[in-house]
């Protein structure tokens, strides 16, 4: 049997046992069948079974006990549910948060640092770079004049058609003519906020939220109203309804599928309720769907936009996380705000480069994206499991961690005595970068929380760095 066939067999066995553990068929404390017994029942070699059990051990799902065998480990507890208290505009701690963001970004420039922080996958394992390069070469050979011609709105029809087609996977019926290509998802979010708000407006956002929204809010003169967001179910819908009914927010920004940093997706009924509420109160929802296609389930949970009856949902996304970060090609569909958004886009950056958009469009058109996405999701799911296992093994007792519905981000709650900002500075001194919790709140909350990214090769350097963070947390806890 070839090496590649053996690899497939042990990976399949590991995946089957992972599923049994996640479903509770093999509960915590259960002993796995012996290597020899599994070898006989599955008709596999002993080496193949041992390799599969080691994969489960790396993922933190099982532990080997000398002279006894392999046992299912207790699962990491999830972070505590968020309180559903009434929220008001964040207190003026935003400047401190912005300063901390600057420190984090500056740390990324340190030579030799190990990044556990940014949600920026690196390397050929995560992107189909060679295939995109070949497609771009073919396009330029056929149309060499493309790079010497100004790209003008509305941009590549080929790409917009493919975006609309893929929108069906998330329940969205999008028209290609209504799709606006943007410079990544951040430009789409900025344009959306500029279209529906004015300086001084109060805008609701999840708490914790994506950290880059905080400098964006500051630059637009907006007041952030933090809305409790549950690590399992997302936005606290009763709090949302209260804010809307009292007319306390002008707009709402949310990430209903594969939330950053929590990794959760809102239940279907909550999404329907959210769409119904923003249409009822005529308050625009800016839906960030950046990670929506990275849901681990085979059937994707729909976007809130799928239930938007009257155009009050603006959906924004990009291909930076899945295909080509340097292309910076994003998109948005603005519902009733489409005309205003098109004007803002033209005034902001005119259009997206045609050759890059056509390359992405050709890749989506070929069917290569579906194959790439399936492999990418499997890789991220395995990385998340492995990192959760390392957290369970090396971080202080009482640490809680999310079990994401997709993507590659894990949110940790450390024991209350641990200060993640102090942990960040201690890690920076050792050339390791993490994301401390206060970055995800304009009010500077989540002092004992942090976000980890699992979008890097799981090599010895990554494992050693994560293990070291756990040790630093232990040391801080001991000295508290």
Q: Would you state the pLDDT for residue 181?
A: 97
* Tokens coding 202: 């109060």
Sign of the C-alpha dihedral, residues 260, 265, 271, 273? negative
CATH of the domain at 9: 1.10.10.10
What CA–CA distance (Å, rounded) separates 135 from 124? Answer: 16
Q: How much is the average pLDDT of 49-71? A: 86
The predicted-structure confidence for 409-446, as pLDDT tens digits, reads as follows 999 999 999 999 999 999 999 999 999 999 999 888 99
The answer to whether 222 touches 201, Cβ cutoff 8 Å, is yes
Q: Would you state the pLDDT for residue 3?
A: 45
What CA–CA distance (Å, rounded) separates 433 from 469? Answer: 10
164 has pLDDT over 90: yes
CATH of the domain at 123: 3.40.640.10
In terms of domains, do 51 and 21 share one?
yes
What CA–CA distance (Å, rounded) separates 161 from 357? Answer: 12
Q: Would you state the pLDDT for residue 243?
A: 98
Task: Tell me which of 72, 100, 115 is where a domain ends.
Answer: 72
Roughly how many angstroms between the first and final C-alpha of the chain, as a whole number?
56
What CA–CA distance (Å, rounded) separates 159 from 389? Answer: 40
453 has pLDDT over 90: yes
The DSSP string of 287-302 is EE-TTGGGBSSSSPPP
In terms of domains, do 322 and 434 share one?
yes
Residue of 342 and 94 predicted with greater confidence: 342
Residue of 393 and 52 predicted with greater confidence: 52
What CA–CA distance (Å, rounded) separates 336 from 342? Answer: 12
The predicted-structure confidence for 384-393, as pLDDT tens digits, reads as follows 988 998 898 8
43 has pLDDT over 90: yes
What CA–CA distance (Å, rounded) separates 196 from 188? Answer: 13
219 has pLDDT over 70: yes
CA distances (Å), origin 269, targets 233, 265, 266, 272, 335: 11, 12, 8, 5, 22
Task: Tell me which of 72, 103, 129 is where a domain ends.
Answer: 72
244 alpha carbon, distance to own chain's centre: 27
The predicted-structure confidence for 345-376, as pLDDT tens digits, reads as follows 999 999 999 999 999 999 999 998 999 999 99
In terms of domains, do 33 and 48 share one?
yes
Helix/strand number for the chain, H first, E second:
15, 16
- Rounded to the nearest integer, the mean pLDDT of the chain is 91
Q: Would you state the pLDDT for residue 4?
A: 47
Task: Tell me which of 16, 50, 72 is where a domain ends.
Answer: 72
In terms of domains, do 59 and 93 share one?
no
The predicted-structure confidence for 73-132, as pLDDT tens digits, reads as follows 877 888 876 544 444 454 545 567 777 777 777 877 778 889 999 899 977 789 999 999
In terms of domains, do 211 and 311 share one?
yes
Q: Among 4-13, 146-155, 204-213, which range has the highest average pLDDT?
A: 204-213
In terms of domains, do 133 and 31 share one?
no
198 has pLDDT over 90: yes
In terms of domains, do 65 and 166 share one?
no
**Residue that has been written with the tokens 């999310």 in this structure:** 402
326 has pLDDT over 60: yes
Query: Which residues neighbour 19 within 8 Å (Cβ) at sequence distance 6 or greater?
Result: none
Domain span at 48: 3-72
Q: How much is the average pLDDT of 329-350? A: 97
Q: How much is the average pLDDT of 194-204? A: 98
182 alpha carbon, distance to own chain's centre: 19
Does a cis peptide bond (omega within 30 degrees of 0) precede residue 208?
yes
Domains held by the chain: number: 2
pLDDT > 70: percent of the chain: 95
In terms of domains, do 448 and 347 share one?
yes
Q: Would you state the pLDDT for residue 2?
A: 47
Q: Would you state the pLDDT for residue 84?
A: 44
In terms of domains, do 278 and 413 share one?
yes
In terms of domains, do 317 and 248 share one?
yes
168 alpha carbon, distance to own chain's centre: 21
Residue of 71 and 200 predicted with greater confidence: 200
User: Of the given ranges (88-102, 228-242, 269-283), which has the lowest mean pLDDT?
Assistant: 88-102
In terms of domains, do 82 and 186 share one?
yes
Residue of 3 and 63 predicted with greater confidence: 63
**Residue that has been written with the tokens 């963001």 in this structure:** 101
In terms of domains, do 64 and 106 share one?
no
């Amino acid at each position: 049997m070839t090496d590649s066939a053996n690899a497939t067999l042990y990976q399949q066995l590991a995946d089957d046992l992972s599923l049994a553990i996640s479903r509770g068929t093999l509960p915590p404390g259960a002993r796995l069948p012996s290597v020899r017994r599994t070898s006989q029942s599955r008709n596999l070699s002993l080496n193949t079974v041992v390799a599969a059990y080691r994969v489960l051990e790396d993922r933190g799902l099982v532990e080997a006990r000398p002279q006894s065998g392999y046992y299912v480990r207790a699962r990491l507890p999830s972070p505590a549910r968020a309180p559903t208290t009434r929220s008001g505009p964040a207190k003026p701690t935003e400047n401190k948060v912005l300063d901390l963001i600057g420190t984090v970004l500056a740390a990324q420039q340190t030579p030799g640092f190990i990044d556990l922080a940014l949600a920026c996958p690196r390397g050929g394992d995560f992107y189909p770079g060679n295939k995109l390069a070949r497609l771009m070469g073919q396009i330029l050979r056929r149309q060499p004049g493309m790079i010497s011609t100004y790209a003008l709105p509305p941009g590549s029809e080929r790409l917009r058609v493919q975006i609309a087609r893929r929108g069906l996977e998330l329940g969205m019926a999008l028209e290609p003519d209504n799709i606006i290509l943007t410079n990544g998802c951040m430009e789409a979010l900025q344009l959306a906020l500029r279209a529906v708000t004015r300086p001084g407006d109060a805008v609701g956002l999840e708490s914790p939220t994506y950290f880059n929204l905080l400098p964006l809010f500051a630059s637009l003169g907006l007041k952030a109203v933090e809305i409790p967001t549950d690590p399992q179910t997302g936005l606290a819908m009763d709090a949302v309804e209260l804010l809307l009914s009292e007319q306390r927010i002008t707009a709402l920004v949310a990430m209903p599928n594969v939330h950053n940093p929590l990794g959760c997706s809102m239940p279907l009924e909550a999404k329907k309720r959210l769409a119904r509420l923003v249409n009822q109160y005529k308050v625009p929802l800016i839906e960030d769907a950046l990670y929506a296609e990275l849901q681990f389930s085979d059937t994707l949970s729909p976007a809130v936009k799928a239930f938007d009856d009257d155009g009050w949902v603006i959906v924004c996304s990009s291909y930076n996380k899945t295909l080509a970060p340097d292309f910076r090609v994003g998109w948005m569909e603005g519902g009733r705000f489409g005309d205003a958004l098109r004007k803002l886009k033209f005034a902001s950056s005119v259009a997206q480069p045609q050759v890059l958009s056509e390359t992405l469009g050709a890749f989506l058109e070929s069917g290569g994206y579906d194959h790439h996405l399936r492999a990418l999701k499997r890789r991220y799911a395995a990385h998340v499991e492995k990192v959760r296992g390392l957290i369970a093994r090396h971080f202080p007792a009482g640490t809680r961690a999310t079990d994401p519905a997709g993507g590659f981000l894990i949110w940790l709650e450390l024991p209350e005595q641990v200060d993640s900002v102090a942990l960040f500075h201690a890690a920076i001194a050792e050339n390791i970068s993490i994301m401390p919790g206060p970055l995800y709140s304009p009010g500077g909350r989540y002092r004992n929380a942090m976000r980890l990214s699992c979008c890097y090769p799981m090599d010895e350097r990554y494992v050693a760095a994560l293990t070291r963070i756990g040790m630093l947390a232990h040391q801080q806890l001991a000295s508290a």
